[in-house]
Chains A and B, each alone.
Chain A
Amino acid sequence: MPGSEAKPLLWNDELWEELARETDAALCFQCGSCTATCPLAERGKLNVRRLIRLGGFGLGTPAGEAELPGLWSCTTCAQCNVGCPRGVDVVEVVRHLRARGWRRNEVPAGLRPLLWAEFQDGNPYRLPPSQRAAWARGLSGPAAGATDGASTVLYVGCTASYDPRAQRTARAMARLLAAAGVPFRLLGESEVCCGETPRALGVEGLFRDLSSRNAEQLARVGASRVVAISPHCYDALRAGLSKDVEVVHYSELLDELVSSGELKLAGDRPGLVTYHDPCYLGRQHGIYEPPRRLLEAAGAKLVEMPRSRRWALCCGGGGGNMWRESEAEDRLADARVAEARETGASLLATACPFCVTCFLGSETPAGGRLDVVDVAEVVARAAGVPG
């Protein structure tokens, strides 16, 4: 018999209709394939199928966790979408349910300051906009990204702008574009966050606001093509900018430049390398091969982890989780680093600053040495222009 404290559940037509109108939750027939493949469900943290079902009951409690378990832990890795026989975009359902949480003031502590930082400083780290271009100090000539009339903008993103380690990826990209003779510009201090984190957290309005601030700056410099460093920025810029601005991920552009011979790689011989597919590049946008081709062109011998391409295990950083604390035993990055070690590779390469940060932060002190690096930096070394 159910607990005596349980209250009868009444289907909430209004909430269900809204969910069905704004997402494709109505396609769901509750088979549970999503839950079966969810890496957090594996750890008992999230039941995706139940989340979709409960969404129609309009349940929610303070922090939304007790009755919609795992709603805010979801990393929006989209593994659930891959196995869904009905083609439901579950990530969209999660965003919708989170938006409902904001409307009802049922959000976990710690997320509000993050949105304030985005709103006021244009970045989630609460760092001053005046320091946004600091990563580019020391770059000169075409690599400084000040070529007048250049129609390509290198969109650096918050992490590559402010994270001392990820700044190397940004510098590598600037030098690579210069080496390949691609004239480009930087938005410098007027670049703001792409808004991917607010969007994943269900705060669509702030995402739109940030998008339009970037769109204005891109229009000001006359950009027709934007090169994103982070797959999260790539995703958000594609969703937020008008269609006359072409958004590409750096791996696609570098891949083209290497195949056409405009970017020459001497081969740095990085040895045995395993590549981790970032969720927002692979599963979300189907970009699996360009980073791999780049690593091989740089002289790497690739070895795959058992879970790769559309089955790649998430690093755990998406969906706002870069800014929330997690229990050490729930960290997907630990599992992923262990998988990478098992391949025997000496280098774990990926193409997302969140993934790099999570992997570096989760390498347990007892573990052996495994270098973690962004593909752009491997390519830059092979091109003789290290960041």
Chain B
Amino acid sequence: MSGAGGVWVYAERRGASFRPVSLEILGRARDLAHALGERLVALTAGSGEGPARELARFGADEVVAIEHPLLVRYDTRVFTELLERELRAGGPSVLLLGATRDGQDLAGRLAVRLRTGLTAHVTSLEVDPHHQLVGWVPGFGGGIEAGILCPDRRPAIVTVRPGVFPLPPPGSAGGSVRVVRPTLEAESFGSRRVAFEPKGDGVDLTRSDVLVIGGRGTDGDFGLLQRLARRLGGEVGATRVATDAGWIDRERMIGQTGVVTHPKVAVVLGASGAVQFTVGIEKAGFVIAVNRDPDAPIFEAADLGVVGDLAPIVDRLVKELGEA
């Protein structure tokens, strides 16, 4: 078949964009395709073709976009069918997917359907001198790192652990986009969404640009923090001491055993700053810390530090910001 082969990357959608791991893989796959002397194809499925055009800017020679309004949400059965059809038609030599929940779900099914090998959760990928793709997988139990080949069957399917390759910068649109419009009905789906009811009060601190975070030093006055958060258009988070004390819900705990956040601004009030907490705000754009103790370790992690009693400082800040 003409145009057969190629390194294919399944680009997993997240809303109107893609999961970072898919773009990370595309960046690495560009080099692999070059080393193998093959084309790079990005395969995606979702609702709306806008995002698919974005993909062409990440180095793919061709983008195959399966598009249908019903593909707004991942469905094991439907996605497997649609991808299998494209893979059989295109006959790639390699298929790479992110080792996300959906990526792992798809990879296993596709490998069985296509009667080929799957290397799961690789941390690096290379092309060996015999033009074979090698996926490296660490095995914690045995203290070894295994290089896994798929010598006979095609495509060699590989899931890649998120975060192991750098995110490539977008270039100018180069590749072509081919849109595939399947015929689908609601009945084709194995599941349907009846309702969406988030647990607890449904807060997702990882999506908040502004966080107002309280620790032991707040003495439980989270009302004050809420007022500040409202004025800043943000959410309230807490340290473990504060959630242990029952001052606020456990789902708002930030840190190693809580939520790891990446707000643009984190206002940290009355937290001492142990690493178990600071890993949760490590990716914050700007950290403002207020603490009565000038020696509090939190100041080491802050871009701006204010030494003083919380209540008057926050009160003043709320007044300055005016009513929300």
A interface with B by C-beta (< 8 Å): 99, 102-103, 110, 115-116, 119-120, 125-127, 159, 162-168, 198, 203-209, 322-325, 328, 357, 360-361, 364-365
Contacts and interface: CB of A to CB of B under 8 A. Distances in A.
A317 to B, nearest CB: 10
Nearest to B298: A164
A126 B279 CA distance: 8
B272 A102 contact: no
B244 interface: yes
Given A115-B140, A120-B123, A325-B257, A165 B272 contact: yes
Interface in B214-269: 216, 219-220, 240-241, 244-245, 256-257
A353 B257 CA distance: 18
Contact of B301 (A164, A198, A328): A164
Nearest to B258: A325
Contact of A205 (B144, B163, B257, B279): B144
A365 B216 contact: yes
Nearest to A326: B257
Given A125-B256, A159-B275, A328-B244, A119 B219 contact: no
Contacts of A324: 257
A165 B274 contact: yes
A132 to B, nearest CB: 12
A110 B240 CA distance: 17
B300 A164 contact: yes
Contacts of A119: 123, 138, 140
A165 B143 CA distance: 33
B257 A127 contact: no
Given A323-B256, A324-B257, A365-B245, A208 B143 contact: yes
Interface string B68-92: 0000000000000000000000000
B144 A166 contact: no
B274 A206 contact: no
B257 A125 contact: no
Given A164-B298, A165-B274, 16 more contacts: A110-B257, A120-B164, A125-B279, A127-B279, A159-B275, A162-B275, A164-B278, A164-B297, A164-B300, A165-B272, A166-B275, A205-B141, A207-B143, A357-B276, A360-B272, A360-B274
B240 to A, nearest CB: 7
B142 interface: yes
A165 B240 contact: no
Nearest to B243: A328
Nearest to B256: A323
B46 interface: no
B140 A206 contact: yes
A206 B276 CA distance: 22
Q: Which 5 interchain pairs have the tightest Cβ spacing?
A: A205-B143, A164-B297, A163-B275, A164-B300, A165-B297
B258 to A, nearest CB: 8
Contacts of B98: none
B312 interface: no
Interface in B16-48: none
Contacts of B6: none
Interface of B: 123, 138-144, 161, 163-164, 216, 219-220, 240-241, 244-245, 256-257, 272-276, 278-279, 282, 297-301
Contact of B240 (A162, A164, A361, A364): A361
Q: Per DSSP, are chain A's interface residues mostly helix, strand or loop, or mixed?
A: helix
A163 B274 contact: yes
Nearest to B278: A164
A110 B257 CA distance: 8
B241 A365 contact: yes
Nearest to B282: A127
Contact of A164 (B161, B220, B275): B275
A119 B140 CA distance: 9
Contacts of B123: 119-120
A361 B257 CA distance: 13
A163 B297 CA distance: 8
A214 to B, nearest CB: 15
Contacts of A115: 140
Contact of A167 (B144, B282, B300): B300
B250 to A, nearest CB: 9
A361 B143 CA distance: 34
Contacts of A167: 297, 300
A169 B311 CA distance: 32
Given A360-B272, A361-B241, A203 B257 contact: no
17 contacts: A99-B141, A119-B123, A119-B140, A120-B123, A163-B275, A163-B278, A164-B273, A164-B274, A164-B278, A164-B298, A203-B140, A204-B143, A206-B140, A206-B143, A207-B143, A323-B256, A357-B276
Nearest to A356: B274
B69 to A, nearest CB: 36
A328 B278 CA distance: 21
A208 B274 CA distance: 28
A125 B216 CA distance: 22
Given A125-B279, A323-B257, A365 B219 contact: yes
Contacts of B142: 205
Nearest to A328: B244
A103 B140 CA distance: 9
B261 to A, nearest CB: 14
Contacts of A205: 139-144
B140 A102 contact: yes
B298 to A, nearest CB: 7
A163 B301 CA distance: 10
A361 B219 contact: no
Interface centre among B123, B139, B141, by most chain A C-beta atoms within 10 angstroms, is B141
A168 B300 CA distance: 11
A154 B275 CA distance: 21
